[in-house]
Structure 1
Amino acid sequence: MDSPQGAAVTAEDFGLEGPRGWAFRSVTVEAEPGSLIAVVGPSGSGRTSLLLALTGRMRPTEGSAEVAGLPLPRKMAAVRRISALGPVQGVSELDPALTVGEHLRERALLQRRFDASLRALLRPRAERVTEARRRVHEALEAAGLDPATLPKRERTSVRDLERLEALRLSVALALIGRPRLLAVDDADLKLADADRAEAWRLLRSVAESGTTVLAVCSDAPEGATVVVSTGAVTDRPEDEGPGDNDTGTGTGTGTETDHADAETTVENTTEEGTADALAETGRA
């Protein structure tokens, strides 16, 4: 596929305070275009909130950050346009009731409708359909997912996918838009050692192709630019829901607890935000 120019990501004293306290605070990041950035730390310390803030989906409350030279929060809409979300719980999850083919077709349709230039929209329909199919094929190839190998090919339901296959599908959906920054939450969650290694090979390959990758994880792979949580974490059982406090104060690490604050601060009040929200449902 066409190699996008990756986005440089920088942040200094970056923080986000929500209704329940600080989601993350005092984050410093410096990563070149095409980097693999690993956000590590214990659950509940703001990892997902940091991921959403650096992709323009949540509004930070202190410090400074830039993505591809675009300052946050002033250029949040522009950052959303050049970034894409892989799997993020409660934000861009796959729909288990849909098939692989339905996800791909919906995402291609959203891409054509909301992200295409005026010139592209004026092209003959046959050319637009051909271009959409090419993008889907290239994205699947980059994500290492061949629908022909699935039990029911493209008619395989998401609920029947293995965890690694679901990750590959989510990454493929995001890559259809040819983003400069790809963000993936819980990249190594519930993966056996062999599958975890495959997941990191996938994300490293995406980074090497030119797209900067920002991945939340429990353990950073070798060679990644690491952002580590250094703050306190709420003491809660792992299976508690997102309604619990998220008071981490480190360099951004968290999973379920991040989404309670995300619901009140995700930027979606403009027309661009609405279109982005539709395009980031994960059902494409």
Structure 2
Amino acid sequence: MDSPHTGTATAEGAAVDAVNFGLKGPRGWAFRGVDLSAPAGSFVAIEGPSGSGRTCLLLALAGRMRATEGHARVGGLRLPKKMAGVRRISALGPVTSVSELDPAFTVNEHLRERALLQRRLDGPLRSLFQRPSARRAAARARIDTALKAVGLDLDTLPKGGRTSVRDLERLEGLRLSVGLALMGSPRLLAVDDADLKLSDAERELAWELLRSVAAGGTTVVAVCSEPPADALRVRLGDVREAAGKPGTGTGPGGGPVPGGPETKQDMTQDSKKDSTEEGAADALAETGRA
């Protein structure tokens, strides 16, 4: 197992543990045999080829998909039994077809909408009777805190806060999505395709962003193609690989961890036959678009 990011984790984060965790769709396994142990405030990177069930595992750990084998605990809540509880303490960053930004919205529209929604979800009843000026000030404070946390400066955007999402660079969109998610003060943040279409320099900035979130106490679970060396890495095997090979954990720099536990997806010969890309696709299609 890789060494987790050693940020200044706080009690707000959710520890994540999984034992023989798996999810089977109508046409096969999306993923199975996943073992994981991540303390609160960890930066967990899920890696593997396309079709290996990375997004399904991400959503299952965030309480958005129901596992069919094994179990997991997120913040002490057992999955799949306590999915609703896990949803309350987790938040989704960008996940294709599940929590994508609306390209027609401006940055300000996304921020105001999320601030309003969050006030209704977690604000005290008396906040509904606040003066409009007080509500606006509270929303502005929530937005400013989120933007500062993700390093998104609206003044650097082409049209400031009036910039449409479709005009954002990929890294700017990632910062905005993560900022929106953090408005709910989640204990776990789930991010899909964190380094998709990023240059090497942009990828390092993305890792810096996610490290800072983890260092602030929020556990981060991210799907990525080239994870940073300091992340706790979960490797899902290629569904076309030979069966029976347990996945192994590696330390920073790619070396093995002597005598250390393994974070793996272990596929037996029988399970390999119905572990398919279609299984992952079918499972995603049944998320209910959380």
Deviation (angstroms), 1:119: 5.2
Which of 65, 74, 90 does residue 83 from structure 1 map onto?
90
1:263 corresponds to 2:285: yes
TM-score normalized by the length of structure 2: 0.80
The answer for the alignment partner of 2:106 in structure 1 is 99
The answer to whether the 8 A contact 2:16-2:40 is kept is yes
Deviation (angstroms), 1:114: 2.6
The aligned amino acid for 2:286 is T
The aligned amino acid for 1:250 is Q
Q: Distance in 1 between matches of 2:148 and 2:119?
A: 20
Q: Distance in 2 between matches of 1:4 and 1:115?
A: 19
The answer to whether the 8 A contact 1:46-1:250 is kept is no
Q: Distance in 2 between matches of 1:151 and 1:10?
A: 43
The answer for the alignment partner of 2:265 in structure 1 is 250
Deviates more, 1:32-41 or 1:125-134: 125-134
Q: Distance in 2 between matches of 1:129 and 1:4?
A: 30
Q: Distance in 1 between matches of 2:240 and 2:114?
A: 36
Which of 23, 32, 35 does residue 30 from structure 2 map onto?
23
Q: Which runs of 5+ in 2 are unaligned?
A: 1-9, 242-263, 268-275
The aligned amino acid for 1:147 is L
The answer for the alignment partner of 2:219 in structure 1 is 212
Deviation (angstroms), 1:4: 6.7
Q: Distance in 2 between matches of 1:255 and 1:169?
A: 30
The answer to whether the 8 A contact 2:151-2:175 is kept is yes
The answer for the alignment partner of 1:7 in structure 2 is 14
Kindly tell me: are residues 228 and 23 of structure 1, through their superposed partners in 2, closer, same or farther at Cα, counting changes over 3 Å? same
The answer for the alignment partner of 1:139 in structure 2 is 146
Q: Deviations over 1:212-266 (max 9, x none)?
A: 00000012202111111135249xxxxxxxxxxxxxx9379x9998454222244
The answer for the alignment partner of 1:238 in structure 2 is none
State the SS of the aligned residue for 1:87. Answer: coil
The answer to whether the 8 A contact 1:231-1:251 is kept is no
The aligned amino acid for 1:262 is L
Provide the aligned C-alpha RMSD in A: 2.4
The answer for the alignment partner of 1:154 in structure 2 is 161
Kindly tell me: are residues 67 and 103 of structure 1, through their superposed partners in 2, closer, same or farther at Cα, counting changes over 3 Å? same
Q: Distance in 2 between matches of 1:22 and 1:256?
A: 9
Which of these two proteins has the greater Rg computed from alpha carbons?
2
State the SS of the aligned residue for 2:226. Answer: coil
Q: Distance in 2 between matches of 1:255 and 1:143?
A: 34
The answer for the alignment partner of 1:187 in structure 2 is 194
Q: Distance in 1 between matches of 2:212 and 2:198?
A: 19
Deviates more, 1:216-225 or 1:6-15: 216-225
The answer to whether the 8 A contact 2:28-2:278 is kept is no
The aligned amino acid for 1:65 is A
State the SS of the aligned residue for 1:200. Answer: helix
Q: Distance in 2 between matches of 1:154 and 1:256?
A: 40
The answer for the alignment partner of 1:172 in structure 2 is 179
State the SS of the aligned residue for 2:30. Answer: strand
The answer to whether the 8 A contact 1:100-1:154 is kept is yes
The answer to whether the 8 A contact 2:154-2:160 is kept is yes
The answer to whether the 8 A contact 1:228-1:251 is kept is no
TM-score normalized by the length of structure 1: 0.82
Kindly tell me: are residues 48 and 122 of structure 1, through their superposed partners in 2, closer, same or farther at Cα, counting changes over 3 Å? same
Q: Distance in 2 between matches of 1:78 and 1:217?
A: 26
% same residue: 63
